[in-house]
Amino acid sequence: MPLFFNKMQRRNPQDPEGERKWYVVLRSTGIADEQEMAKLLSEETTLNPKEAEMAIYQLFKVVVRQLLNSKTVPLGSIGTLRLTVSSEGADTEKEANANLIKELNVRLVPSEEFKQELKKAEFIYVKDMLPDNQQEASSGQA
């Protein structure tokens, strides 16, 4: 199944006065909610859709609990979840404390298997899917 992209012209945030360049950005075709994921998971396992939905919900609770216990959480072939922080800097070690933390972030470090699977992605420019007359009508847009 292909990944869809559009083209957007943007400035480099580190050089706001610089020349605008064209960038490729991915476009989502929707959201796979818990019920859809549970249905798909049930088709791959012996779980029924409601059991699969409960497993997804329980996995959420267990992952959050482990992350908040300062643990790194491996998720098999998907990869590993870990927490990081964004913080302000301090001039001295003594001044560095938890009050400087601005944001708590979750990072997924994908497994090598996951990365290899994603390398199989195919890409389609969204406008290439439109009939020719619609492409001409939207030709001024990115």
Instruction: Give the mean pLDDT of 35-60.
Output: 96
Q: What confidence tens digit (pLDDT) does each residue in 68-112 have?
A: 999 999 999 999 999 999 999 999 999 999 999 999 999 999 999
User: What type of residue sits at position 115?
Assistant: K
Instruction: Give the mean pLDDT of 50-76.
Output: 97
Q: What are phi and psi of 60, to 5 degrees?
A: -55, -50
Domain ranges of the chain: 1-30+119-142
Q: Closest Cα to residue 41, out of 62, 22, 59?
A: 59
Predicted confidence band at 142 (pLDDT cuts at 50, 70, 90)?
very low
52: its two tokens: 């699969």
Rounded to an integer, what distance in angstroms lies between the CA atom of residue 36 and that of residue 58?
A: 16
- Where does the chain show beta strands of DSSP type E? 3-10, 21-27, 73-74, 79-87, 101-110, 123-125
